[in-house]
Structure 1
Amino acid sequence: MRTAVGLAALAVIGNIGLVTTASADGLHDRHKALQQAISKTKQDMSESSATAAAAAVALTKAEQQLKDAQAELAKTQQEVAAAQKKDDALAAKLKQQQEALAKAKAAVVAGQKRLDKQKAVVGAIVRDDVQKHANLLPLAMLTTSTSMGDLANRIQLSQTMLDTNQAKFETYTALQKQLEAEKAKQAALEKQIAADKAEAAKNLEHKKVLEQQAEAQKATVAELVKQRAAAQAAADQAAAQDKARFAELQKEDAAVQKRIAARIAAQKAAARRAAARRAAAEAAARARHHSHSHSHSGGGGGGSSSSYSAHHGFIYPVDGPITSPYGMRLHPILHVWKLHDGTDFGVGCGTPIRAPYPGRVTEEYYNAGYGNRLFIDHGRVDGHYITTAMNHAIRYIVSPGQHVSQGQVVGYVGETGYATGCHLHLMVWEDGNMINPMRWY
């Protein structure tokens, strides 16, 4: 069933229009990031209650979706601003072009008037020439001249008239060319204005789409804010319970460490008593040897203890991947750093659990946080007293006081206690102190 968040996200996508390959890749990347965030939250909450874990996952999901939606909205708002800037620039350009076009039209009108006026002058000259048969003027001047001086004057007058008329014809031609240039300039401006108007209209439509998209994204963000608030409220409610459970786990850990310390102290005391008995026996033997001066000399018994100096030799209790290592982590709900006190192995329920090293079972019981627990005392290994514990099992098939060999099946993986799924939570104590289990592997 689609959630409100999912529907809102679909609404945003619907407003965007055709999804390109790049945007599809972006959606894929965001989905992958969300899944990774959820996976990390699940790992960080692997030792919490199912309610708290579900609340943390819901909060992580809501926060990630809100973050993505806000990023999309910011991007769209930037695109709207860019479209508005372009719209303003095109408007300013069109205004300048309109002013230039008005001047060009005025220039064409003025040029047409000048050309019409010059055309009238030229037309009058042509009509006058036709009426006077100006082509016979040279002959008339020759036949009507009374003297050579008069002929020269007539020729000069005729040339002046011809030159004046030619200048008027040339002016007309120049005005005609100027008018054609001004008309071409006007046509070019009109064509450019038409193209810019089309671009402005297209940009305006694009801006409208972006604005609608931004409004839809704002609604999505608002809905996701509500979703996150609801998830935060649920997480806050679960946080109180989780805090109490963490306090219980810490109390349990302190009690376990106290029992292990007491057991180690007892082992050390037993070792000291054994050493004292050996020393006493050796002293008695030396005294007997001294009182029997004629007895055979020989090595006095009392073998000394030797520590295990080879490699640790521990094996994994299950064959599976490590899903959550030992160490500090930020609690997704409480937002405080807490210790994950063991190593989690992600294996299915019912997977056999094997003893990691020879030892004696010291405790087997149920705890609300750790579920079914089993402790194995491995004694002194490489100069240190080592204890291991397996947690969350369905059940164990060995009992306290029983000696187990390395690799022996001691129980089966489960999800009892505070567990978000089937897994084994392995813990190790070295000389009574909790440590990273991987130091012995």
Structure 2
Amino acid sequence: MNAINELWQEGQENQETAVLRLITAGSVDDGKSTLIGRLLLDSKGVFADQLKAIAGSKYTRAPGQEYDLALLTDGLEAEREQGITIDVAYRYFATPARKFIVADAPGHEQYTRNMVTGASTADAAIILIDASRVTDASRVTDGQLLPQTKRHSTLAQLLGLRHIIVAVNKMDLVGWDERVFQRIHAAYQDLAERLGIASYHIVPLSALSGDNVVQRSEHTPWYGGLPLLSLLETLPLETVQDSGQPRFFVQWVIRHNGSGPDAFRGYAGQLQGGAWRTGDTVQVLPGGETAAIRQILRGVEAVEQALPGDSITVVLDRDIDLSRGDLLVAAADAPVARQDFEADICWLDQQALNPARWYWLKQGSRLTQVKVRAVQTRRDIHELRSVAWSGTLAMNDIGRVQLRARDPLALDDYDVQRATGAFILIDAASNQTAAAGLVRLDAAGAQPAA
């Protein structure tokens, strides 16, 4: 019995190990997939049969007897054939200090939407820069980094990623020249200041050889920071966003025993933004009805309190009309439901934005229709500033728009509460994801200036 208890306790401790969700981003051929492969290999996260498989692959491009580590994440036939990343690949590994969920995002401009998908749930971004492609000083003067480096950094900043790490890769191809590293550092510092990135880390490394990835490299005596994995293990992690304002989208209405005397009606979903206790009064949006929480279930266990991030079932003290997509909030701080609002969007569809069309808007589990009334500004990816714009938005454009929803929506500013501040737009004809959006409201609830 003692042995069983010890195993159970060990399992509980393992489950409580902190998890860091991160994404690799940057331009084409910067070495994103190879870097993840190196992290997996050197952290003992790769099985022997996987190494054997990539060693015998007809698509290997590694020199000599080296492993082509990119094949550990590039699993699609088209990816291996072309030597590029097309779709986001998720990989999992762990060290004694932390667990990691890594998203390998493609670098090609046409797949920017895949990067947005991976970054939307990430805590940190590793922005890779290929040192061998910017050895000419004119390529980095005045912050002239590659466009995708700028675009991915912009998106990481807009999405509110808490940590940005700049990995200057392929330093071995420039002879570990400190001057090259310092030029790139100066270029990215200028980029960060113009984007409003308050802080970031920068590491010189070689993903292919493993220098400064897990172990410190003897080739960089001039670098005084941590190797990449040690840096990832020590990044401070915040708990699930807690704004003090509970938000609970109903995902599923659970019914048991029909209309019998022991009939059960509960509402399942994930709590965001704040804590709930039994007895708290909640309000249903957009309907406006109020009720008290009679019971909170985590799985089949009744609990007195639910915290942000908990997946729970809520039982109310009275039956009201609730269905998937409805939002439960604390009655004391219910947001105002509105139909007109502003948002920053990244247009992801090959078909340009058409202001004359209706699009489906998905916010949490809620689905309604919206129309883009006007485009106010467009982000110039080269000048890194928003410029007044009255035209449309094409694929990968980032802009501030005015929207009108068919039904009232409970909205929060994205920087305050992501659950009700983020949404996607869906093309009603093709069912393609057309845009990812971030609601922008000022503290008083009025619309901000563009």
Do Structure 1 and Structure 2 share a fold, with TM-score over 0.5? no
Q: TM-score range by the shorter chain?
A: under 0.3
TM-score, L = length of structure 2: 0.23
When normalised by structure 1's length, the TM-score is 0.23
**Larger CA Rg, structure 1 vs 2:** 1
- Indicate the structure whose relative CO is greater, using CA pairs within 8 Å and at least 6 residues apart: 1
